[in-house]
Copies of this chain bind each other. A is one copy, B any other.
């Protein structure tokens, strides 16, 4: 069986946990603390980032980009379970990838990095420090803009990238779920985004994420509530 090196509040790890579950690929989870720079992690991913999927057939696959595309590349080798990370024709697949980049690069830099990594990773990291309040304020402002964009996509399409659920939905939900754990998402003000998230949150692939608990951080009251 494959092993996934992950961290519970790492949004990139979460997106891959969701993708593995949706693709029907079983993987044992091993928790890594990304701020520890463990030698064993650097050996399978010199960048020291998460997640890393240790496969039986193809060795370690490092990073959400390589893993998500790997799941797509190896679909023929698996029993088809319906979910395609990048569904549709070349144009549809490009739209999925544009949005994956949106969430894994832009949303990450403008929101997750400020609100999750400032709050959690900094606390445990080598230079244990209080969160930077200015960064957190920027993160909150940016989050509202992104929730509006998610809502706009969800209102004009069946799923964020088009007619089918794709890795773009999982990437977006991964970031929002990490923020939601910390009680940072003002869902009530962003109804269309909330309705889209509720659909994802009720999927079986989401269940393990809702059971995550990180020492020192109590999940928000509605984090695991499907009727939030």
**A→B interface (CB under 8 Å):** 45-47, 49, 57-59, 61-63, 65-67, 69-70, 73-74, 77, 89-91, 93-95, 97-98, 100-102, 105-106, 149
A selection of 12 A-B contacts at a CB cut-off of 8 Å is A47-B101, A47-B106, A49-B106, A57-B91, A58-B89, A58-B91, A61-B91, A62-B98, A65-B65, A66-B101, A73-B94, A77-B90
Copies in the complex: 2
Residues of B within 8 A of A74 (CB): 90
Q: Which 6 A-B pairs have the closest CB atoms?
A: A58-B91, A66-B97, A66-B94, A61-B94, A73-B90, A62-B98
Given contacts A69-B69, A73-B90, contact A101 B149 (CB under 8 A): no
Residues of B within 8 A of A46 (CB): 149
Question: How far, in Å, is A104 (CB) from chain B's closest CB?
Answer: 9
Residues of B within 8 A of A106 (CB): 47, 49
Question: CB-nearest residue of chain B relative to A63?
Answer: B101
Are B90 and A70 interface neighbours, CB within 8 A?
A: yes
Question: How far, in Å, is A74 (CB) from chain B's closest CB?
Answer: 5
Task: State A101–B68 Cα separation when bound (angstroms).
Answer: 13
Task: State A94–B52 Cα separation when bound (angstroms).
Answer: 11
Are A69 and B94 interface neighbours, CB within 8 A?
A: yes
